[in-house]
């Protein structure tokens, strides 16, 4: 298969990982609500895909793919060891980067400024609001055991404010859904998941697989994600929850205990390739999806290391731009808070930092004049402010990872081929400069984005 640019969607001759293919089963179908053409209304049966049982799956990875997975794990672990006061801002930025990119895969697109405004409660941009919800959902999955309760709770956070889906938020679907094709029936659908009565047992089986400790971590995360997308247990939001599940597997296995690796930033740049790896999984080959996740994790970790180095340098740069405010002054206090709270209002600063109204506004005026912070709305009252360098770095991280997305389909062993010598050197300098911690071991259930594992 090839994408619009003529590149192979899944590289032929790549590493194969044999898994049981999906069973095809014909089931009865009838519309609940009349709509569509006569073909939609008279459709009486549909072929559904039944994913295999995976709890005891023993995927055999070829040596070159195992080596690539190990390379990715080591890159993730090194990034996760970033210590000192820089860890929290890095973890927060990477969580937001992954949530933004995961939403973009589902065609939920918004600027970084829109996303920042939505983080502070402005709901003018529905895509930005959806990105914030995705961030909350991922955070929920990362901070609890992987189980049915955690997955449904994360889905509730994702969809609770969606005007058309809130009634299904946090619930396994009770209807047949499908991807692509007609809006009114599974006619000509690209993929039809299993019937709703199989969702709960299949998810129980998947949870058991996701909590195992005897599998290569990246392969486990990739297969868990692919299996989740194949089950498609919710009426909407499956792609975002499924990618959050992959991050949760990496967290639960102890590889990344503090940061989220923005794997979706690479996948969004090669959306059709990513979808093709899911098709290959359903056909009985997990190699492409494991390869894509390993390569994405490696690229994302390398670029995030560069971001980490930049975050270390930012506070000193802001201090100089602001004219070296004296220690203990309101401006110095606000500056010290920016790495962990880069989006704020004047009221936030007064409440959180205990500053007077006058001192708060003097500090804001000084930092805005120095271009350390910038306004995010056009209003004159209750202005939302953002820390420019951090917002720009969040955007640039996604751009850099996306620029290397061509590496996803390169054969194992060519992981850094697409990276410039300058960027490789910069990332190496950044990663070696970071202090390290001591080592320790819907309408009848249709997905509305054709072709998307939404």
Contact present, 88 and 313 (Cβ < 8 Å): no
Lowest mean pLDDT among 20-34, 158-172, 397-411: 397-411
With beta carbons less than 8 A apart as the criterion, state whether 24 and 48 touch: yes
User: In the chain, how many H helices and how many E strands?
Assistant: 17, 7
pLDDT, position 124: 61
Closest of 141, 159, 165 to residue 151, by C-alpha: 141
Please state the length of the chain.
454
Give per-residue pLDDT as tens, 81-128.
Answer: 875 456 667 777 777 777 767 666 666 666 667 767 766 666 666 667
Q: Provide the pLDDT for residue 415.
A: 47
pLDDT of residue 122: 65
- pLDDT tens digit string along 325-346? 999 999 999 999 999 889 899 9
Read off the pLDDT band of 318 (50, 70, 90).
very high
Sketch the domain layout of the chain as residue ranges: 23-43+61-306+439-447
Burial state string for 128-153 with b = 16 or more CB within 10 A and e = fewer than 16? bbbbbbbbebbbbbbeeebeeebbbb
Eight-state DSSP code of residue 342: -
Element (H, E) at 47: strand 45-50
Is residue 15 within 8 A of residue 282, CB to CB? The reply is no
pLDDT winner (highest mean) among 149-163, 262-276, 348-362, 374-388? 348-362
Q: Is the separation of the CB atoms in 52 and 200 below 8 Å?
A: no
Which phi-psi region, left, alpha or beta, contains residue 185 (left: φ > 0; alpha: ψ -120 to 50)?
A: beta
Query: For 214, how many CA atoms within 13 A lie in the half-sphere containing its CB?
Result: 8
Gap between the Cα atoms of 128 and 138, Å rounded: 15
Per-residue model confidence (pLDDT) at position 377: 84
Q: To the nearest whole number, what is the mean pLDDT of the chain?
A: 84
Q: Which fold has domain 23-43+61-306+439-447?
A: Fic-like fold (1.10.3290)
């Amino acid at each position: 298969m090839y994408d619009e640019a003529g590149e192979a969607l899944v590289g032929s001759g790549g590493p194969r990982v044999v898994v049981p293919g999906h069973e095809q089963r014909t089931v009865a179908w009838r519309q609940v609500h009349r709509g569509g053409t006569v073909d939609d209304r008279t459709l009486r049966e549909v072929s559904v895909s039944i994913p295999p049982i995976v709890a005891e799956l023993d995927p055999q990875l070829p040596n070159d793919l195992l080596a690539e997975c190990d390379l990715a794990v080591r890159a993730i672990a090194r990034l996760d060891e970033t210590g000192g006061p820089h860890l929290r801002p890095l973890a927060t930025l990477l969580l937001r980067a992954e949530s933004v990119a995961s939403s973009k895969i589902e065609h939920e697109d918004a600027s970084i400024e829109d996303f920042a405004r939505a983080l502070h409660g402005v709901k003018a941009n529905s895509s930005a609001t959806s990105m914030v919800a995705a961030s909350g959902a991922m955070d929920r999955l990362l901070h609890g055991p992987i189980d049915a309760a955690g997955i449904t709770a994360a889905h509730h956070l994702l969809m609770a404010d969606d005007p058309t889906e809130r009634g299904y938020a946090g619930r396994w679907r009770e209807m047949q859904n499908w991807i692509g094709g007609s809006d009114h029936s599974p006619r000509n659908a690209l993929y039809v998941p299993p019937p709703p009565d199989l969702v709960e047992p299949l998810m129980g089986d998947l949870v058991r697989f996701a909590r195992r400790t005897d599998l290569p971590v990246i392969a486990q995360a990739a297969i868990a994600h692919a299996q989740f997308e194949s089950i498609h247990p919710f009426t909407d939001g499956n792609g975002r929850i499924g990618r959050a599940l992959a991050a949760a597997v990496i967290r639960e296995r102890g590889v990344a205990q503090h940061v989220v690796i923005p794997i979706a930033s690479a996948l969004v740049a090669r959306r059709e390739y990513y979808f093709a790896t899911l098709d290959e999984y359903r056909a009985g080959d997990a190699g492409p999806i494991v390869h894509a996740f390993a390569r994405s994790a490696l690229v994302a970790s390398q670029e995030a290391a560069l971001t980490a180095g930049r975050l270390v340098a930012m506070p000193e740069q802001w201090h100089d731009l602001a004219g070296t405010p004296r220690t203990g002054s309101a401006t110095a206090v606000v500056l010290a808070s920016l790495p962990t709270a880069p989006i704020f209002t004047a009221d936030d600063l007064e409440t959180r930092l205990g500053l007077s109204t006058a001192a708060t506004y003097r500090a804001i005026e000084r930092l805005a004049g120095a271009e350390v912070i910038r306004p995010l709305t056009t209003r004159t009252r209750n202005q939302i402010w953002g820390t420019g360098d951090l917002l720009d770095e969040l955007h640039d991280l996604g751009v850099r990872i996306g620029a290397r997305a061509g590496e996803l389909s390169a054969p194992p062993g060519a992981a850094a081929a697409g990276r410039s010598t300058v960027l490789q050197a910069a990332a190496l300098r950044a990663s070696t400069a970071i202090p390290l911690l001591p080592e320790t071991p819907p309408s009848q259930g249709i997905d509305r984005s054709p072709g998307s594992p939404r």
